[in-house]
């Protein structure tokens, strides 16, 4: 009978950005298992490093691994380590869901899409004895496995509805952070060409306002948090629900006692929305603006957002004093040097002081992946490290989808953006003592001012 479950978050443990946020998705899996088998049936351990030693110490009965594409090499390695101990291995996450055929020989089962109900079925199967036999696995929906050496995928599961049927994530099994985050929805109503998340979740679904407020109350009572991040793809997609959340927090007497952050989309930013966000005590928002070129913006995000929307969103946010962070993508297939410089001009003209630059990466499950695969740039047998989003670190090996610029030219433009950002940070530090202290702390810790 399964009693000890180890969840492995396959990330690069040397990158602070990958380890700073606890894997809340694994908390949902732990809650689903507790709900199905009882609160005291399992002992869980969530790890992201020293896997061989952790397995030796914890001695799990089952290993579950979650991974995105850029870290899938690590998932394969960790599965191999677990198999040397003859442990059953399940893998889940966005990568295996997009490319089921990449299931390694050391992985018994891949969970495709949402895993809360699937993992319960798989544990019940193990409880009956006999392990993960192909004849039994064939009756479980939403998985991939091997039968006589051949990859088999079972029919997909329907999306979980309503989302309120899910128990809140078991945060007691996750690392505690001073500024935690939560999900209040799954999916996004938009279909950006580079986004795997919206395709992983399928149609957008929302937890009810009551569910969201209860989870906020749980945070306040158990962790005494000061700030919570809403990490939905687009928290403001359902503005009627947003108003309900504000009303319920006010009714509970906790409106304004906790700060929040969230993501918005420029074409949705209005005076009314920003005032509502400030009432909720949202103190900062993120916006993926992607490009200052109308043609490239349409390629990346579709026809429902414009560069004028971007400029208006910046103006409205500034008018109401709401902090914001932006991000941009360069290196689209047909993007010219002049169009990339349009994005740089947009940053300068709108005096953006907080922004990130990424080079377009073809992630599995996206139209950009399909495009890159058709050109022979990627494939299911590739080195997954090449999909590292940190282009400054990975520029020599990264997949370049541009047809107009060489790798060296893309890198030179990337460095030009980085230099602009470095100058902005230095000017900001000179004017603001707090910014200067943060800058000095970063330098003293050995971290670069910006990714180069």
CATH number for position 97: 3.40.50.280
Indicate the SS3 state at residue 240: helix
Do residue 111 and residue 193 come from a single domain? Answer: no
Q: Which of 89, 118, 153 is the last residue before a domain boundary?
A: 153
Indicate the SS3 state at residue 91: strand
Do residue 189 and residue 135 come from a single domain? Answer: no
Looking at the DSSP assignment, which residues form a beta bridge with residue 285?
Answer: 262, 324
Evaluate whether residue 170 is within a structural domain.
Answer: no
Q: Give the C-alpha separation, 360 to 13, whole Å.
A: 24
Residue 201 has a pLDDT of 94
Do residue 332 and residue 426 come from a single domain? Answer: yes
Residue 451 has a pLDDT of 53
Evaluate whether residue 207 is within a structural domain.
Answer: yes
Looking at the DSSP assignment, which residues form a beta bridge with residue 67?
Answer: none
**CATH assignment of the domain containing 369:** 3.80.30.20
Residue 434 has a pLDDT of 63
Q: Are 226 and 259 in contact (CB under 8 A)?
A: yes
Average pLDDT, the chain: 93
Do residue 148 and residue 255 come from a single domain? Answer: no
Do residue 131 and residue 193 come from a single domain? Answer: no
Residue 443 has a pLDDT of 44
pTM comes to 0.93
Do residue 144 and residue 215 come from a single domain? Answer: no
Q: Give the C-alpha separation, 153 to 146, whole Å.
A: 9
Q: Cα dihedral angle (213, 216, 217, 220), rounded to 10 degrees? A: -160
Count of domains forming the chain? 2
Q: Give the C-alpha separation, 205 to 184, whole Å.
A: 9
Evaluate whether residue 182 is within a structural domain.
Answer: yes
Give the residue numbers spanning the domain of 233: 178-444
| Spans of the chain, pLDDT less than 70 | 178, 432-452
Closest Cα to residue 30, out of 18, 19, 46? 46
Which token pair is 259? 């700060």
Residue 415 has a pLDDT of 96
């Amino acid at each position: 009978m399964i009693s000890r479950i180890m969840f492995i978050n396959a990330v690069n443990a040397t990158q602070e950005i990958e380890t700073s946020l606890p894997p809340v998705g694994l908390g949902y899996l732990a809650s689903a298992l507790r709900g199905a088998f009882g609160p005291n049936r399992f002992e869980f351990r969530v790890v992201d490093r020293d896997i061989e030693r952790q397995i030796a110490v914890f001695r799990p009965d089952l290993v579950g691994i979650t991974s995105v594409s850029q870290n899938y090499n690590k998932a394969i390695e960790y599965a191999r380590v677990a198999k040397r101990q003859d442990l059953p291995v399940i893998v889940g996450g966005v990568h295996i869901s997009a490319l089921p055929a990449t299931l390694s020989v050391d992985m018994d089962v891949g969970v495709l899409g949402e895993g809360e109900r699937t993992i319960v079925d798989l544990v019940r199967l193990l409880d009956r004895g006999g392990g993960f036999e192909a004849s039994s696995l064939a009756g479980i929906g939403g998985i991939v496995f091997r039968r006589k050496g051949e990859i088999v995928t079972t029919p997909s599961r329907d999306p979980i509805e309503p989302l309120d049927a899910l128990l809140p994530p078991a945060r007691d099994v996750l690392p505690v952070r001073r500024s935690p985050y939560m999900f209040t929805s799954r999916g996004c109503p938009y279909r950006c060409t580079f986004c795997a998340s919206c395709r992983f979740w399928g149609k957008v679904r929302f937890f009810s306002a009551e569910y969201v407020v209860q989870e906020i109350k749980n945070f306040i009572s158990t962790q005494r948090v000061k700030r919570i991040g809403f990490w939905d793809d687009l928290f403001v997609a359902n503005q009627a629900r947003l108003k309900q959340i504000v009303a319920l927090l006010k009714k509970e007497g906790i409106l304004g006692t906790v700060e929040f952050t969230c993501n918005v989309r420029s074409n949705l930013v209005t005076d009314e929305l920003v005032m509502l966000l400030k009432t909720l005590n949202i103190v900062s928002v993120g916006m993926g603006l992607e490009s200052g070129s109308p043609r490239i913006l349409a390629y990346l995000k579709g026809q429902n957002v414009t560069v004028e929307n971007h400029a208006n969103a910046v103006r409205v946010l500034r008018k109401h004093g709401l902090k914001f962070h932006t991000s941009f993508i360069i290196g689209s297939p047909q993007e010219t040097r002049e169009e990339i410089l349009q994005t740089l001009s947009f940053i300068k003209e709108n005096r953006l002081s907080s922004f990130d630059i990424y080079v377009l990466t073809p992630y599995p499950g996206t139209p950009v992946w399909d495009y890159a695969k058709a050109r022979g740039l990627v494939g299911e047998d590739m080195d997954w490290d090449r999909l590292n989003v940190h282009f400054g670190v990975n520029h020599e090996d990264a997949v370049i989808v541009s047809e107009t610029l060489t790798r060296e030219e893309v890198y030179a433009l990337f460095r030009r953006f980085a230099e602009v950002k470095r100058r902005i940070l230095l000017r900001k530090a000179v004017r603001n003592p707090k910014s200067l202290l943060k800058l000095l702390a970063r330098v003293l810790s050995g971290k670069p001012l910006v990714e180069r």
